[in-house]
Structure 1
């Protein structure tokens, strides 16, 4: 299947090529300075691809290419959330439902009142809960494990990023409602209809492993250090719903084009415009996310730029309605629905949050600076 975004160029899409050239030069400089081995970036507007480039090495000694799949880390959360949106779109759940209405045993330990909206806006109350690797391929054990999560604070009383726990619960919810493996449901109902089966992978098969970039820690003694936990076939296959998907930058730029377009990509409508408007609202206001230390303006999956002075990842100069998500120390993807623009950046080093936040503010702001009025 052909990639769903036709290729174009910045000028034809009313994008100023000069900030985009600076963006690419900044990525090249960061690689030359040793911040990460490789990267990809993509910018799209109005259903067409304006920019897609690969840089450096996918694995040390092996060049990155258009086919390279990068670990998306928490960018995966929005793809998983989209599967939950689809259940709501089809009337199978409501965002005001409690999780326990669909997974009754989840009510254990005082969790019976947690709503799906609270779950996906990081207000569930169990941010530190973990799912061991032994559960990744054992769905019954996974369901028991998330049902046994214990609360750290009263649901709804705080906003605190749940690095993995909330989206493991979302995976169990998807399986309870559909009777399908959550990875299969995401692939069949979200990724495949959009024509992105070669671009976004949640649960990687062995045949696809050669396309996967390795993920590294910052240099030690002059060499990048592969991350042992993530660079395994088991981790790739797990498709961890809050942080284990793989993708290309152009694939995620296309996914966010669908969101920027109100749920449609090309001739495929996946969601109604009202659904996209709803899930990208700011449900947490200017409340501080206690994990991030700043307001994150949480939607039901992505977060939005909002109007606070400091923003994470989406670019300081971005329009307040810009929404998206990041991947720890490595990546960010977003859409600006006011201009029809989407952006995706991936790198293969889990850098410090200080460097990552500053780097993404520069890259995202350069992409916003390219957007010209029409």
Structure 2
């Protein structure tokens, strides 16, 4: 047999073995469930429509929840927590929330400020003397957590093992060299921001807890807020299997057209530039090269709060719903109304040096431009969202295990649900 025929036979065999089975593979049925309060039925209908028209991948899973005036008004979910096992999404399914964890870390810092253990205006070296290396001695707590410290990535390449050692991680962060002159603007600290919060917490907390332990003790236990940094092994059965990013050609074109992607792609190809975003991605290389690394049980237990926390949509909505309603639920208080107001206050704004879009940052949270008032919270890669709007006393969250390409609240699925949610709240107010 000639070499050409052998090659053709191998190719045909590969197609038969790898691709043809998919043609008659069982298609999973579309499923969704949940409940909404009267006046919010349109949110559920829109969510169901997303699974019917393909906006939501039918073999993936997601959830959306909202609290209004201290009451849960939306709690809906659909799809699959694990498509390979045909395991349906449930109300307590825990997907990765990516950068939405930064908002939770900022709330933890706000709780410390509320208790008088920290001041936003204090220099970081007051609590963490080692941080003052390489010209960082004048960085304040507020600057550090609002992306103004110039350290979007540390000097040492990140790894799961580094995050397992809290003391070593703190040393690496303290020894990092700023990437721009401090005081000249902000740049998204994609992987370091929440870890900075975690170090500060361990320094000033009387019990010297990690961020994950603090969230468990102060939010999960007293309030039933289902958010975790470092998932406990007994909760593994609730974890969603995270999938690779999915996108349509239209979504890809939309993202490529953003200033960040234009600069990253064109700068690298034509000018040989290494953008800050590229440097962040290279620094995170071992942790990000495998899209399925988050499904490894050995990694699930590690606290990587800037990117790899887990939560239910209901847990995120409840946290922001309590804060948007004044910071108190059933006689128990997360923080004072004054501290909530501080969270919803812009401390820096303008063109971000890393992601190259106009952003408004509060003390560790993004300030979102929405139909009524303003909301504070944080987006996460692939479509995760969590925000609170004190003016409407509204908190909401969206989570998924099937990320789509999205940057800073450009996720189509979430935005459609959010806008309908706001419309429902406004119509209730008119009655």
Which TM bucket (shorter chain)?
0.7 to 0.9
Structure with the higher fraction of residues in helix conformation: 2
Give the structure 1 partner of residue 423 of structure 2. 369
Contact 1:100/1:106, CA 8 A, preserved across alignment? yes
- The runs of at least 4 aligned residues of structure 1 exceeding 6 Å deviation read none
Tell whether 2:50 aligns with 1:26. yes
Contact 2:42/2:420, CA 8 A, preserved across alignment? no
Gaps of 5+ in 2: 1-33, 248-288
Give the structure 2 partner of residue 89 of structure 1. 114
Match of 1:330 among 383, 387, 395: 383
Q: Secondary structure at the match of 2:364?
A: coil
Alignment of 1:228-267 (within 5 A): 228-267=292-331
Per-residue CA shift, 1:101-154, capped at 9, x if unaligned? 111111111111111101111111111335432222222211211111111012
Give the structure 1 partner of residue 282 of structure 2. none
Contact 2:36/2:76, CA 8 A, preserved across alignment? no
Contact 2:99/2:380, CA 8 A, preserved across alignment? yes
Distance 1:48 1:232, change over 3 A: same
Tell whether 2:410 aligns with 1:357. yes
Provide the rounded CA distance (Å) in 2 between the counterparts of 1:99 and 1:304.
23
Please, what is the CA RMSD of the aligned residues? 2.4
Scaled by the length of structure 2, what TM-score is found? 0.75
Tell whether 2:360 aligns with 1:297. yes
Tell whether 2:197 aligns with 1:170. yes
Alignment of 1:59-74 (within 5 A): 59-60=82-83, 61-74=86-99
Q: Secondary structure at the match of 2:363?
A: coil
Tell whether 2:75 aligns with 1:52. yes
Match of 2:134 among 87, 95, 109: 109
Provide the rounded CA distance (Å) in 2 between the counterparts of 1:239 and 1:323.
23
Provide the rounded CA distance (Å) in 2 between the counterparts of 1:204 and 1:355.
26
Tell whether 2:229 aligns with 1:202. yes
Distance 1:218 1:154, change over 3 A: same
Gaps of 5+ in 1: 1-6, 307-316
Give the structure 2 partner of residue 314 of structure 1. none
Contact 1:282/1:298, CA 8 A, preserved across alignment? yes
Match of 1:145 among 172, 175, 192: 172
Tell whether 2:296 aligns with 1:271. no
Provide the rounded CA distance (Å) in 2 between the counterparts of 1:282 and 1:235.
35
Provide the rounded CA distance (Å) in 2 between the counterparts of 1:48 and 1:126.
39
Distance 1:24 1:51, change over 3 A: farther
Contact 1:39/1:345, CA 8 A, preserved across alignment? yes
Give the total of aligned pairs.
347
